[in-house]
Amino acid sequence: MSITVIFFLGLLVALIGVIPPGLLNMTAARISLKEGAARGIMFSVGVCIVVYIQTYVAAIFARYLSNHPDIVEILKRVALVIFVLITIYFLVLASKQKEPKLETEIKSKHGRLLHGMLLSVLNVFPIPYQAYMTITLVSFGWMDFEKLSIVTYVTGAATGTFVMLYFYIFFFDKIKDRAFTSQKSMNLSIGIITGLVALVTLINLIRDL
């Protein structure tokens, strides 16, 4: 598979993972609005440095799991349940939630680069998420566990994370002006995406029977 395709696969997977409003992207938006875009971007760079490391660890973990198909089968079943629950959450419950408060102050004595790295370390979600997605992509033959393929995918994932944080930084005002509609549409989109992932996982499980 072309390294360009692998790069964009990593970028797309990371984009999907960072779409939901959370601590990292909301903090990037807050810093940009209060302290300027440059400091928001610096915070985002710090986040992406850690995401790069986390995704690389996830890929290595996925390579280990690929040599233990019994464990992979268990994880696929667990992932199916998780994605179904996430889909239900965003389609049924999340649309009723209030918009996260951007005004919450997050103070730090460190530079924004270090600030981004520290907050990103606390967010361990990318590791299991990327491990599962890497195994899935390999199972489809869209990438492999060669070093160049892994590095390309990880670079794409870090880039995708930065792109989404960049989106939050420069377009948050528009989202804020249409908070309810934007949040509802975003939740619906996430629910559809995770629903499709759950469907693909279910198909794979049935095919392996």
Question: Which tokens sit at 7?
Answer: 């790069």
Average pLDDT over residues 177-202: 63
Whether residue 101 is predicted with pLDDT greater than 90 in this model: the reply is no
**pLDDT score, position 168:** 85
Assess whether pLDDT exceeds 90 at residue 52. Answer: yes
pLDDT in tens, 146-161: 999 999 999 999 999 9
The pLDDT of 20-24, averaged and rounded, is: 71
Which residue type sits at 172?
A: F
> Model confidence over 70-97: pLDDT tens digits?
776 776 677 677 778 767 776 775 556 5
Residue boundaries of the structural domains of the chain: 3-79+101-172
Quickly state the pLDDT bin for 68 (edges 50, 70, 90): confident
**Which range among 11-20, 40-49, 168-177 shows the weakest confidence by mean pLDDT?**
168-177
- Does 125 have pLDDT greater than 90? no
Q: Cβ contacts of residue 34 below 8 Å, gap of 6+?
A: none
Q: Which of 179, 176, 172 is nearest to 32 (CA)?
A: 172
Least confident of 32-41, 48-57, 74-83, 165-174: 74-83
Mean per-residue pLDDT over the chain, rounded: 78
Q: 124 or 93: whose pLDDT is higher?
A: 124
Whole-model pTM?
A: 0.68
C-alpha separations of 17 from 69, 95, 157, 194 in Å: 25, 18, 10, 10
Write down the pLDDT at residue 109.
39
What lies within 8 Å, CB to CB, of 162 at 6+ separation is 44, 45, 47, 48
Q: Report whether 152 contacts 10 (CB < 8 A).
A: yes
**Rounded mean pLDDT, 17-27:** 76
- Tokens representing 116? 């981004």
DSSP symbols for the chain: --HHHHHHHHHHHHHHHH-S--HHHHHHHHHHHHH-HHHHHHHHHHHHHHHHHHHHHHHHHHHHHHT-HHHHHHHHHHHHHHHHHHHHIIIIIGGGSPPPPTT-----SS-HHHHHHHHHHH--THHHHHHHHHHHHHHTTS--SSHHHHHHHHHHHHHHHHHHHHHHHHHHHHHHHTHHHHHHHHHHHHHHHHHHHHHHHHHHHHHH-
